[in-house]
Amino acid sequence: TTAAPKPASRNFTLNFTLTNLRYTADLDAPNSRRFLSTVKVMNHYLDPLFKRSSISSAYTGCKAMRFRSGRRRDDTKVDAVCSYNDNASLGRFDREQLYQELSTMTNSVTKLGHYSLDRSSLYVDG
């Protein structure tokens, strides 16, 4: 007997801007305490969203990879890489549908946990 092939893992990027997290240089250092704790907090807020989305059965995780300075003093841009298993139960990855779901679950792109979001900053790229 042969084992069924393992579903291929696929990635997509997720970008958004937090308007109440002041960017500081230690957010640019992947080994800094602040970077690591902020990644953990982002994952804490992102995982439940995806587990309630249309890709929930295939979702395998998100990781904030980079934080960047935003336009205003209290803005921090977040670049995350998320992954899912590409399997038949998911069908085709629909980034527009996922964007709409995330928009709804973040109160029209205004809230992510205790963070405020820039309404025009959410971007999903599959």
Which domains can be identified in the chain, with CATH numbers? 8-125 (3.30.70.960)
Section 60-84 average pLDDT: 93
Q: Which tokens go with 55?
A: 């890709």
Interacting residues of 50 by C-beta distance below 8 A, sequence separation 6+: 56, 59, 62, 82
Residue whose C-alpha is closest to residue 66's, from 42, 47, 46, 83: 42
Tell me how far apart the terminal alpha carbons of the chain are, to the nearest angstrom: 35
pTM exceeds cut of 0.75: yes
- Please give the backbone phi and psi of residue 15, each rounded to the nearest 5 degrees, phi first: -130, 140
Residue-wise pLDDT tens digits, 80-105: 999 998 876 667 789 999 999 999 99
